[in-house]
Amino acid sequence: MDLTIEGKTYINGNFEDCCIGITDGRISAIKKILKEDEHYNFRGKIILPAGIDIHVHFRDPGLTHKEDFSPGTMAAAYGGISCVFDMPNTVPQTITLRSLSDKIISAKKRAYVDFGVYAGITDGNIKNIDELAKKCHGFKIYLGGTTNSLHFNSNNLKETFDKIKSTNKPVLIHAEDNNCLVKHKLKENSLVDHMNSRPAECEETAIKNILKASGDTNTRIHICHLSSIEGLELLRKRSKNISCGVTPHHLLFTAQDDLKPQSHYKVNPPLRSNFDREALFVALKNGLIDILESDHAPHTLEEKDKEFNDIPSGLPGVETMFPLFLHMAKKETLSFQRMISLLCEKPVELLNIPKGKIEDGRDADFIVVDLKKDCKIKSENLHSKCGWTPFEGLPAIFPECVFVRGEKLIEDYEMLGAKGFGKFVGE
């Protein structure tokens, strides 16, 4: 063994006082007593699996004035996330083998934590799905227009699901129906206008189309950032191959809240009513929602500071997601079991990676948390290149230490890790 760590550890749904042995970056033993020369005792703290964020936009390549893989993955590390999965709406879009390889090569030089990538599917590259599968962890489809999105005609869903099935990779979907969005489009001055311009009906139509096209194919389908009661109702009796996610912002904010500046909270799908928000929270607690995803979609303050109608949709969140929920778990708003399922266990099941659980043979990715260290989120303490947060002032608990593959990336809330340590996960 290379090192051992000791403390109150989350194993199989319970906390146990134990020691974890680590060899070559993996967990090699879990016992009551283990002690190597390099031994860390985290008495008085808790040890949890590090989180996985299945939904980030690191804007790299092409839009690196907003974010890039270095500050993006640094922010992830500070927020207790050991692995991120990057979306394809970069410039160029990652819709070819070449653009996937280029993104991976460049991200390897910059990443502080591990990462994976999605290949975007558009009407033009459905035939290349087998080839793209060699370089991606999953696929992404946009059924409706959003920031720099890729066009996809929903008539192609069935054929696409059939092709993706044989790759054994999941497909993640932005579920807002484009025809519906076009029909309701308004000139917008506020968050309420944005909500009315992209009504729940559009999410409902998209999810209906997905369910119809998926039929009895067993393709793994993940519906991203669910936002409405209507969408939720359609997923109540879904088959096992279909999962869904929700973001912190849709759980915490509504279009009617007194949010300032309004433009910072312009996001797709839009923030909706308090009924929607509450229903999402109930679904989060009772297990109807599988995954928490940040949809970290940074834009610069300058870009977010124009006429409401013209500003791009999207807000940052990779660093604050786990800390917000650690605070909620402390306050018993959500159980530790549900939180770990949503941030660690279900994401690794979806993406089939050896992380997310404290278990023999898995990557030694942990966070150490001192539950007494509550704080308020402040943009000046965060690390995304965009420099602002929609969660300003909210209570959170950041991890004190973060281990990725047995390496201490963060110690005493400070970064020890290096750029280029992050690996293309699974390689």
Closest CA to 314 of 35, 71, 87, 53: 87
Among ligand NCD, Zn ion, none, residue 80 binds (CB under 5-8 Å by kind): none
Query: Is 18 or 87 the residue whose CB approaches ligand NCD more closely?
Result: 87
Question: Cα-Cα-Cα-Cα dihedral of 320, 231, 145, 310, to 10°?
Answer: -60
Active site residue 295: yes
Report the chain's C-alpha Rg in angstroms. 20
CA angle, 404 as apex, 80 and 378 as ends, to 5°?
25
The Cα-based distances of 247 to 5, 172, 293, 403 in angstroms read: 32, 14, 5, 24
Nearest distance, CB of residue 398 and Zn ion, angstroms: 23
Nearest distance, CB of residue 369 and ligand NCD, angstroms: 28
Binding site for Zn ion (CB under 5 A): 174, 295
Nearest distance, CB of residue 268 and ligand NCD, angstroms: 4
Among Zn ion, ligand NCD, none, residue 267 binds (CB under 5-8 Å by kind): ligand NCD
Among ligand NCD, Zn ion, none, residue 96 binds (CB under 5-8 Å by kind): none
Nearest distance, CB of residue 244 and ligand NCD, angstroms: 15
Closest CA to 173 of 209, 123, 223, 220: 223
Q: Which residue out of 53, 60, 114, 295 is catalytically annotated?
A: 295
Nearest distance, CB of residue 312 and ligand NCD, angstroms: 6
Question: What number of residues does the chain have?
Answer: 427
**Contact (CB, 8 A) for 80 and 323:** yes
Close Cβ partners of 262 (under 8 Å, ≥ 6 residues apart): 190, 191, 308
Binding site for ligand NCD (CB under 6 A): 57, 89, 146-147, 174, 267-268, 295, 297, 313-314
Alpha-carbon span 45 to 267, nearest angstrom: 36
Query: Is 300 or 337 the residue whose CB approaches Zn ion more closely?
Result: 300
DSSP 205-220: HHHHHHHHHHTT----
- What the block records as the tokens of 321 is 């997601």
Query: Is 18 or 234 the residue whose CB approaches Zn ion more closely?
Result: 234
Query: Is 315 or 351 the residue whose CB approaches ligand NCD more closely?
Result: 315
Among ligand NCD, Zn ion, none, residue 89 binds (CB under 5-8 Å by kind): ligand NCD
Among Zn ion, ligand NCD, none, residue 64 binds (CB under 5-8 Å by kind): none
Query: Is 55 or 163 the residue whose CB approaches Zn ion more closely?
Result: 55
- What the block records as the tokens of 425 is 């996960």
Active site residues: 295
